[in-house]
Structure 1
Amino acid sequence: MIPFKIGYYAYVGSAFGAGGLAARINHHLSISNRPRWHIDYLRQKASIEQIWLTESSQKLEHDWARLLSQMDHARITVEGFGASDCRCASHLFYFRYRPSVSKFGDGITSYRRSSPEQILTGKVASFQINAL
């Protein structure tokens, strides 16, 4: 059992499989009875608050993970979380306070010239742990 602090967690992933982005988001919005990805296990206890996304034909998840890790107060609480198929330290980042999509967007824009869109309908990539 891995203890998770109350706070905000940003998870980075991509959606190049069948159904693309819509299918991946819909999967993460539901609680999976048969977890497939690392994030599925965390979703059993976490409520989703936001999604930060961009549509691209390039795999940007590693760039996003690197930039999230460099944000103020970002912490890796589980080494390798969501990153079993790459060399990233983690794809899950802990923040005591809500991370700023605009600050993250500034970093990604200067790096790739494409900023994330923020959806405030209670969806994936950044969410808050309410209780464990």
Structure 2
Amino acid sequence: MSLNAVVVVLFTFLLNHLLRRHKTKHVLVLGTLFYAFGFGIYGFADGALLFLLGTFVWTLGEILVSTAVNPMIYELTEPSKRGRASALFPLIRRIAAVISPLAGGWALANFGFTGLWIGCVLVSLIAAILLKNALSSCD
């Protein structure tokens, strides 16, 4: 079984319990920061333990983002448009799943392994900043 799956099974309930009193938007931004930190560890990993640590950290981010996205969509959309918004999000994720390997391969070929992961850190940090700014007006 992969480390990602083990972390998801062992930590999803715990993280949701610990963060249940926090605003959904804060959990979403925190999860994005965990992605950035985990990807950053990959950029400088020189052995299996650091790769495992990086995977553990970004998987915590995955748990936070995955469990916060649907409630955030629900909070931000009008009742009559929730179905459309909920259907659009998986489509956007699928498009990202097509584009990401192409962009990652290009980054790896042009900037190397460390450059690829630093790029992922930057994208994650920019996403966290944009999310924080966009969601700050949604109180």
Structure 1 or 2: more helix by fraction: 2
Which protein has the larger Cα radius of gyration, Structure 1 or Structure 2? 2
More strand by share: 1
**What TM-score does the superposition give when structure 1 sets the normalisation length?**
0.24
Larger RCO (alpha carbons 8 Å, 6+ apart): 1
TM-score, normalized by length of structure 2? 0.23
